[in-house]
A and B are shown apart, each in its own frame.
Chain A
Amino acid sequence: MAPVKTERDLRLDLFRGLALWLIFLDHIPSNAVSWITIRNYGFSDATEIFVFISGYTAAFVYGRAMQQDGFIVASARVLKRAWQIYVAHVFLFAIYLAEIAYVAHSFDNPLYTEEMGVLDFLRNPDVTIIQALLLKFKPVNMDVLPLYIMLLVGFAPVLWLLLRSRSLALIASAALYALTYRFGWNIPAYPSGVWVFNPFAWQLLFVFGAWCALGGAKRLAPVIGSRVTLALAALYLAFAFFVAMTWYFPHAAVFLPRIIGDNIYPIDKTNLDVLRILHFFSLAIIVVNFVPRDWRALRSPWFEPAILCGQHSLAIFCLGVFLAFAGHFVFTEVSNRLLTHVIVSLVGIAIMVATAAVLTWYKNIERGPRPPVIKPGLVGGDA
């Protein structure tokens, strides 16, 4: 297999950081600022970016560990990471419980007796809490973490295969995706339904990210760099943009031939619709072509805030979910004006950046005053 590069690809951190910001903006309900996020202009959204880059960095970090320390040690490290994410998930669930309990005792309105049914689980918290610990209860906006946990729990054998036969691992992953599509596999949830992000489908993007990190990207480079690919990607993005516009301007929908509408809808996020994958690929192709790896601006202070956030993805993701709760709280309790939306969004991102900076500082003091050797575990941020 191709040697793993040790030089840090700042583009990964940058785009993961940006994805975290977008996820935060999208998670505040009715946030006026969220019109800038990419989900409004095409089929895919920040989740695809996040999952792909997470797969890429996981392979980067643990691939090296597996080569140096063997399967057992690397697997143990992957599982430790999954455990950390699980703890983070439980922490967020506690905040979610507090928010729901607050609304339950402070809000009452005859218009919303049905909606208040969402608070019913407070009557039997024993069941709900156990279901949440089993990752079966689905609090809104917290679905990425259970997905991430599942992806990491299953990652060690996948990584083992990736290191032996990259192509075989990718084919296996695509086969699982196809079978999931065919047979409708997913994990059951509580009180009803299935997981919001189907891990059997979303694993494809994670494994593809890992595949790219372990030399696949190099292999694809001639294809990605070709003008034809670039043109196709641009065309597809334009098509997705046009379709997205018909969501907001229904009168434009008459220009969308019926046969297209019949075939593309519904665009399934739970099972990672093919249209979404293609949209993400197109975005990635454009980015790879126009943002070179050694682009100087990547080291400019302008991009540093996003890069910092991308380097502490788990902590910043969790913080973002909490800040989205808090932001929504401000909208309902304090003010719901446009200016408030802008301020809440900006302050939220500022808090994310400041926290990421503090985490970097911690990492540095814990590492001690040594020459800046790049440790394999730290390359490309955390996994």
Chain B
Amino acid sequence: MRGLWALLALAVLVGSARADMPAECRVARHLVEDNLRLAGVASAIAAKHLNVLVLGAGSSVLPGPGGVNLAYPERLRLALTEAFPGVAVTLATDIKPHRKAVDMAIFLAADLAKAKPDLLVWQTGTVDAVDGADSDQFNQALDKGIDSAKAAGADIVLVNAQYSPRTESMIALGNYNEIMRWVAAQHEISLFDRFAVMRLWADLGTFDFFSPTKKLDTAGRVHDCIGRLLAALVVDAVKPDNPLIQGGK
């Protein structure tokens, strides 16, 4: 039995070594097309060393002892390592549940000083929506965080809330998602629209977000896809010949 698992693990490894992503992830590929360049990331890759910092709350991690390895930040690191052979990719995280954008923005300066990231991936919005946080304060916290990350020389990708059909009638995400889209557009930074991606998966039946379960298998696959799609966004944004990118920054 153990041999079988090892074989399976090998197959997964070999499979993931291909540049292509699994079909279940790829169906949402068009939703992460972006026309923004990540200039800092591009020069970091040229210098063969890429530092990533993921700042997030509870939906950036999965529960249990193996949760960290299954969650999207680690999957992003693996996908980036694979996409840029020869580049040393390091990934630091500051992830704690139940944090609003305001709470995260407070720690951001220290995080930036410590991790010195070329790329900041900032997941937020869910806790703000759950608590019904003041939308002006949410907006200002995002502005503040983005400004300090830019000042520290990091490129930024925002990640919005998950699509969660069971709690949809209890959490009013709409306004917070809109603010994130607006803030991203204003600062000319990328927004990884996790909500739209997961919504598409739900509509297509790619993943089942309805069934109650304690198992991590679906959750792990979802996070793997999110990590890969985030990596794809980065790959697009550093391609010098990307036709989608106009001029660059």
Whether the pair A331, B165 counts as a contact (CB closer than 8 A) is: yes
Question: How many angstroms from the CA of A113 to the CA of B168 in the assembled complex?
Answer: 14
A193 with B133: CB separation less than 8 A: yes
B132 touches A116 (CB 8 A): no
B134-A192 in contact (CB<8A)? yes
When C-beta atoms are compared, the residue in chain A nearest to B98 turns out to be A117
- Chain B residues contacting A328 (CB-CB under 8 Å) are 168-169
Against B, the Cβ 8 Å flags (1 = close, 0 = not) of A204-248 are 000000000000000000000000000000000000000000000
Per the 8 Å Cβ criterion, residues 130-185 of B in contact with A are: 130-137, 139, 162, 164-172, 175, 178-179, 182, 185
Partner of B131 from A112, A193, A196, A265 at Cβ < 8 Å = A193
Tell me whether A140 and B169 are in contact in the complex, defined as CB-CB below 8 angstroms, given that A113-B58, A118-B130 are known contacts: yes
- CB proximity of A31 to chain B, nearest CB, Å: 10
- On chain B, the number of residues with a Cβ less than 8 Å from chain A's Cβ atoms is 50
CB distance from B178 to the nearest CB of A (A): 6
CB distance from B95 to the nearest CB of A (A): 11
In the bound complex, how far is the Cα of B133 from the Cα of A108, in angstroms? 25
- Residues in A neighbouring B132, C-beta threshold 8 A: 138, 189, 191-193, 196
The docked-state distance in angstroms from the alpha carbon of A140 to that of B164 is 15
Given A111-B219, A113-B58, A115-B167, A191–B131 Cβ distance below 8 Å? yes
B182–A111 contact, CB under 8 A? no
Q: Say if the beta carbon of A177 comes within 8 Å of chain B.
A: no
In contact, B182 and A110 (Cβ under 8 angstroms):
no
Say how far B198's CB is from chain A's closest CB, in angstroms. 9
A262 contacts the other chain (Cβ, under 8 Å)?
yes
A103 interface contact, C-beta 8 A: yes
What's the Cα separation between A194 and B164 when bound, in Å? 24
Q: Which of A117, A141, A270 contacts B58 (CB 8 A)?
A: A117
> Which of B114-122, B210-218, B231-239 interfaces with chain A?
B210-218
Q: Determine whether A366 belongs to the interface, using a CB cutoff of 8 Å to chain B.
A: no
Q: Could you say which of A30, A138, A192 contacts B165, with CB atoms under 8 Å apart?
A: A30
Residue of A99, A111, A118, A325 ringed by the most chain B CB atoms within 10 A: A111
A266 adjacent to B182 (CB under 8 Å): yes
A112 in contact with B164 (CB, 8 Å): yes
Counting contact residues on chain A (CB < 8 A from B), the size range is: 35 or more
Is B243's beta carbon under 8 Å from chain A?
A: no
User: Which of A100, A113, A119, A336 is most buried by chain B, counting CB atoms within 10 A of its CB?
Assistant: A113
Smallest CB gap from A329: residue in B? B169
In the complex, which residues of chain A have a beta carbon less than 8 angstroms from the beta carbon of B97?
113-114, 117
**B136 x A112 contact (CB < 8 A):** no
Determine if B79 is an interface residue (Cβ-Cβ < 8 Å). no
Task: Say yes or no: A111-B171 contact (C-beta < 8 A), given A193-B132, A266-B139.
Answer: no
- CB-defined contacts of B59 to chain A, threshold 8 Å: 111-115
- Contact of A324 with B by CB under 8 A: yes
Contact string against B for A residues 6-32, beta-carbon threshold 8 Å, 1 for contact and 0 otherwise: 000000000000000000000011100
In chain A, residues 64-109, which have Cβ atoms closer than 8 Å to a Cβ of chain B?
96, 99-100, 103, 106-109
Q: Tell me which residues from 134 to 170 in chain A have a Cβ below 8 Å from any Cβ of chain B.
A: 138-141
Q: Considering residues B59, B64, B100, B179, which has the most beta carbons from chain A within 10 angstroms of its beta carbon?
A: B59
Closest A residue to B208 by CB, please name it.
A109
Extra contacts, 4 of them, besides A103-B166, A261-B185 (Cβ < 8 A), are: A110-B62, A115-B164, A115-B166, A193-B135
B→A interface (CB under 8 Å): 57-59, 62-64, 67, 97-98, 100, 126-127, 130-137, 139, 162, 164-172, 175, 178-179, 182, 185-186, 199, 202, 209-216, 218-219, 222
Which A residues lie at the B interface, using CB under 8 A? 28-30, 96, 99-100, 103, 106-119, 138-141, 184, 189, 191-194, 196, 261-262, 265-266, 269-270, 324-325, 328, 331-332, 336
A sample of 19 cross-chain residue pairs with beta-carbon separation below 8 angstroms, ordered by A number, consists of: A30-B168, A30-B199, A103-B167, A110-B63, A110-B67, A111-B218, A111-B219, A113-B97, A114-B127, A114-B130, A115-B126, A115-B162, A138-B132, A140-B172, A189-B132, A193-B137, A196-B172, A265-B185, A336-B165
Those 3 A-B pairs whose CB atoms lie nearest each other, nearest first: A114-B58, A29-B168, A193-B132
